[in-house]
Amino acid sequence: MIRSRSRLRLRHLLAASALLLPLPQARAAVLQLPREVPQGGLVIGRAPAACRVSYDGRDLRVGADGRFAFGVGRDAEGPLQVRSACPGHPPQVQHIAVRSRTWPTERVNGVPPKTVRPPPAIAARMARERKLVAAARTRNDAREDFEEGFVWPVHGRISGRFGSQRIYNGVPRAPHSGVDIAVPRGTPVKAPAAGIVTLAKRLYLSGNTVIIDHGFGVSSVMLHMDKLDVTPGQRVRQGQIVGLSGMTGRATGPHVHWGMNWFGVRLDPRMVAREHPANTHRQARRKSAQTAD
């Protein structure tokens, strides 16, 4: 009986002393990351010197200033896991929430039937061209051109949105991989950011196509142009004219398709670029109306 009471007192003492011990502190995050990113967004983070950072099984390039970047696909689900191994810190896994988006359906009628149900010879050509495009997006240069931000290649009405389910001539196809901007034929098309041209070629579906690599796996592509004014390997500055708009390839009217990628991950330019002028004008009108009231 005495022994059992002693044990009980000992338990009470241990419990009371545990209350006096300092609570373990939450480990400070090593990487600077956003708390949330939308589907189709580009994450730009920062790491301390000499850190190794990885996402989705890929080691990320980390710049001299600690910057790194990676893309979040249309159908990505959170939380995303970003791993780091930094001198003086234990390995960490940090999480980013993913904001889900809704994707409308867009019906596009009147495109050439061979671009929807291609015969064998054309299908083989399209397969070869897909490999060319994929190869142009494998570059992983240390250039940090993406850090200067992105401008719109042309200004016009948004006629097609990233991520929408496309139905061509009644046949469902892959979701739309960029934004379509309706502009008159022959409108100068500008480089959204500085970079190196990795592809400038006429392709079957996309017509005259330009891909510009902005470093760290981030790239832009402009499609359906009438004319190309750049060549592979050429260095371009932001805002430099790379061609003229048109309706080559699978298109029903003159426009520029602007897409963005992080390697093979398709991104939404509207989530990455500076505000579209139409939205800016709309907001200005709204403020003016509010002031008038």
Question: Hunting for tokens 């949330």 — which residue is that?
Answer: 36
β-strand partners of 58: 55
- 62 CB-side CA count, 13 A: 20
Cβ distance 73 to 266 under 8 Å? yes
Q: What is the pLDDT of residue 254?
A: 96
In the numeric block, which tokens belong to residue 183?
A: 């502009």
Cβ distance 109 to 169 under 8 Å? yes
Share of the chain above pLDDT 90, in %: 72
Residue 274 has pLDDT above 50, yes or no: yes
Average pLDDT, rounded, for the chain: 87
What ranges make up the beta strands (E) of 125-238? 157-160, 165-168, 171-172, 178-182, 188-190, 195-203, 207-213, 218-225, 227-228, 235-236
Classified as helix, coil or strand, 124 is helix
Give every CB contact of residue 96 below 8 A, 6+ residues apart in sequence. 33, 34, 35, 36, 37, 43, 78, 79, 80, 82
pLDDT digit string, tens, across residues 236-266: 999 999 999 999 999 989 999 999 999 999 9
pLDDT digit string, tens, across residues 206-221: 999 999 999 999 999 9
CATH superfamily of 105-279: Glucose Permease (Domain IIA) (2.70.70.10)
Output the pTM of the full model: 0.83
CA dist list (Å): 150 to 11, 54, 147:
64, 25, 9
Q: What is the pLDDT of residue 112?
A: 83
d(CA 38, CA 2): 65
Given CATH 2.40.110.10, say whether it is the number of domain 36-99.
no
36-99 and 105-279 have identical folds: no
Give every CB contact of residue 204 below 8 A, 6+ residues apart in sequence. 115, 118, 122, 125, 126, 129, 249
CA dist list (Å): 220 to 9, 157, 263:
71, 19, 10
* Domain definitions of the chain by residue range: 36-99, 105-279
Residue 23 has pLDDT above 70, yes or no: no
Cβ distance 136 to 198 under 8 Å? yes
